[in-house]
Structure 1
Amino acid sequence: MIPRAACECYLNRWILPRWGDLRIDQVKSVAVEEWLDSIKRAKGTRAKIRNIMSSIFHHAMRYEWVERNPIKLVRQSAKRERTPEILELAELQLLLSKLSVRERTLALLDAATGLRVSEMLVFRWSDVDFENLELRVTRSIWHQVVGNCKTEASAKPVPMDSYMAEDFLRWRRQSTYTSDDHYVFASETMRGTQPYWPDNLMKRHIKPVAKAIGINKNIGWHTFRHSFGTLLKANGEDVKTVQELLRHANSRITLDVYTQAVNSNKRAAQSKVVRMMVSSEVTKVANVGTTDSKKQAQNAG
């Protein structure tokens, strides 16, 4: 499922300029396929354009404007053109130790939950449940337009390890925007009215640190999500747990991208990954401070 804002972007950027002047019955399968092949974008992007066009024709059939959907005959693979980059455990540990508090909080959040960056950046402090150690995922953002989550599975609460809670509290003490209705990662440039742009955070604050410590991989926000899935697999977690933690709509997606795993406790599975990424000494301190964290959270609220 593609977010509404993303659909509008693809529609206005690609589909309408090419096909907007034609009658709907003039759109032919072969012509669409040739057009998609000419677009210099990733296969995944072209597949999304194809799927949006197919949805348009599906609705046209429902209203009996056309009798068939020509886009069903359009061949367009969504298979990745290269294997996604994965950070090794040692690389994750080193990167987390060198990032500033804001970027470290985001990177650990991504690497220990598998959340999409579009979901992480629209967290408000009221979505961070320190008492029950959960994160409420209800919104996502696309080009600064806030909408609903990508799928129903995406809207389920996400477990939050106690060490992650400590990071959130550390960032809250430094942030200018700390009220419950403020974005957790509010942009100071926009005076808190919008969250940060994900590309700016990655390009200006995370990639330079990674390069400085010798990580020359082409990392992005999805790198952390893929790394999370890989670490879960390495821990021997069962595919259903991996699916729920990554909030895939079905297990086929999980199997295609991350493959299998053997335990069934989501919180325990996540905690194993967190403790792989942070030193045992610091983890002990975090565990001892959990009670204090809850008290601070109540005071901050």
Structure 2
Amino acid sequence: MTENGTSIESPNRPAPKLLDQVRDAVRIRHYSIRTEEAYVNWIKRFILFHGKQHPRQLDAAAVSAFLSHLAVDGKVSASTQNQALSALLFLYQKVLEIDLPRIGDVVRAKRPQRLPTVLSRKEVYALLDRCAGTAGLITCLLYGTGLRLMEGVRLRVKDVDVARAELIVRDGKGGKDRVTVLPQALIAPMQAHLATRRALHADDVRSGTVGVWLPDALAKKYPNASSEWGWQYLFVASNFSADPRSGIRRRHHYNEKLVQREVRRAALAAGIVRPASPHTLRHSFATHLLESGYDIRTVQELLGHADVSTTMIYTHVLNRGGRGVRSPLDAM
């Protein structure tokens, strides 16, 4: 395999299929499995859209036609269209090593200016009060720390510092690390969960089934790390599953879909009529901090936003009426 991720053809071995070349190029750059699946899916759709022609036979106009089709006929969102464009640029630049000219005449999907859904404190308390089990603990953690859902389920034991009441988010959005607060209200539940989790880890060690996926080349650098307590996922699945890349059977992190279902169930039980998801709790965390008087730079650091302008959107949904204006009716 070459440095840029493309495979070297051997005279005694058939050249790998295009999608396998894409997978190799993604993995050599240590992209996530979700990125790999998304890129492969978009490239498949692009090839099918053009009658199964090989991408080498297609040009920038063909890419523009596909992206326009997504916006006009598929009615996809702007972020979905951008994801498809990223996948195709990756295909041409990193796999096929073809520089596409500037892609013009693309019908761009409209990016609506929407405010995030924020629950009131009363609604959040009602929702959390109806959550239970591991999914309930993760739900409380998402609101109490402002983590994204995948950041929550991918936490490792070593990233939880109960003594300092803080969490370290590794490789968050944009590949960045950050530190956020661990709520005092979750110290005791977290300690109880860690005790249960350690007992499960000990069982796996005794049975010889202990192991966890490690990022990048850490598995080669630290051969024993995958069985060490600190590297284990904090929240794990109850059963073993095969790694989609290596095929190794081990405990994966807790299924994020179970958390999504628990939040929906709890919201319905609490009588919340607005759509509520795990990400809604992140929005509520940020807004409630601003309502409590914390400065926006602090909130930006806790959320892991690269630009404070992203955090500024929460100033528009503070629970003080439109733009903080006091209605004249309230003065009567």
Q: TM-score, normalised by structure 2?
A: 0.63
| Alignment match of 1:228 (pick from 279, 282, 285) | 285
CA shift at 1:101, angstroms? 4.3
- Aligned partner of 1:127 in structure 2 is 159
CA shift at 1:91, angstroms? 1.0
Asked if 1:92 is matched to 2:121, the reply is no
| Alignment match of 1:35 (pick from 69, 72, 84) | 69
8 Å CA contact retained: 1:112, 1:228: yes
Within 5 Å, give how 1:70-149 maps onto structure 2.
70=103, 74-77=106-109, 79-80=111-112, 83-138=115-170, 148-149=171-172
Asked if 1:9 is matched to 2:37, the reply is yes
CA–CA distance in 2 between the matches of 1:131 and 1:156? 18
**Compared CA separation, residues 218 and 151, structure 1 to 2 (3 A):** same
Q: TM-score, normalised by structure 1?
A: 0.69
Asked if 1:189 is matched to 2:221, the reply is no
8 Å CA contact retained: 1:47, 1:76: no
Q: How many residues align?
A: 245
Unaligned stretches of 5+ residues in structure 2? 1-29, 48-52, 202-228, 242-249, 318-332
Higher mean displacement: 127-136 or 78-87: 78-87
Equivalent AA in structure 1 for residue 240 of structure 2: M
CA shift at 1:235, angstroms? 2.1
8 Å CA contact retained: 1:60, 1:66: no
- Could you say which structure has the greater relative contact order, defined with CA pairs below 8 angstroms and 6 or more residues apart? 1
- Aligned partner of 2:259 in structure 1 is 201
| Alignment match of 1:157 (pick from 179, 190, 193) | 179
CA shift at 1:132, angstroms? 2.0
**Compared CA separation, residues 184 and 238, structure 1 to 2 (3 A):** same
Q: What's the C-alpha RMSD, in Å, of the aligned pairs?
A: 3.2
* Offset from partner CA, 1:178-217 (integer Å, 9 cap, x none): 64343221111238711121112321x3322221221233
CA shift at 1:68, angstroms? 2.4
| Alignment match of 1:47 (pick from 63, 76, 82) | 82
| Alignment match of 1:251 (pick from 301, 305, 308) | 308
Q: Whose radius of gyration is greater, 1 or 2?
A: 2
3-state SS of paired residue (1:214): coil
- Aligned partner of 2:194 in structure 1 is 172
CA–CA distance in 1 between the matches of 2:196 and 2:131? 15
* Offset from partner CA, 1:240-282 (integer Å, 9 cap, x none): 1121111011112222x32379xxxxxxxxxxxxxxxxxxxxx
**Compared CA separation, residues 33 and 181, structure 1 to 2 (3 A):** closer
CA shift at 1:90, angstroms? 0.3
CA–CA distance in 2 between the matches of 1:43 and 1:82? 13
**Compared CA separation, residues 124 and 33, structure 1 to 2 (3 A):** closer
- Aligned partner of 1:281 in structure 2 is none
CA–CA distance in 1 between the matches of 2:44 and 2:302? 37
3-state SS of paired residue (1:228): helix
- Aligned partner of 1:66 in structure 2 is 99
Equivalent AA in structure 2 for residue 161 of structure 1: P
CA–CA distance in 1 between the matches of 2:304 and 2:38? 24
Higher mean displacement: 96-105 or 111-120: 96-105
- Aligned partner of 2:208 in structure 1 is none
Equivalent AA in structure 1 for residue 67 of structure 2: E
CA–CA distance in 2 between the matches of 1:90 and 1:207? 17
8 Å CA contact retained: 1:44, 1:80: no
Equivalent AA in structure 1 for residue 99 of structure 2: V
3-state SS of paired residue (2:237): coil
8 Å CA contact retained: 2:67, 2:84: no
Unaligned stretches of 5+ residues in structure 1? 139-147, 262-301
- Aligned partner of 1:282 in structure 2 is none
Equivalent AA in structure 1 for residue 178 of structure 2: K
8 Å CA contact retained: 2:142, 2:278: yes
* Offset from partner CA, 1:151-195 (integer Å, 9 cap, x none): 25x412222232222231133344453643432211112387111
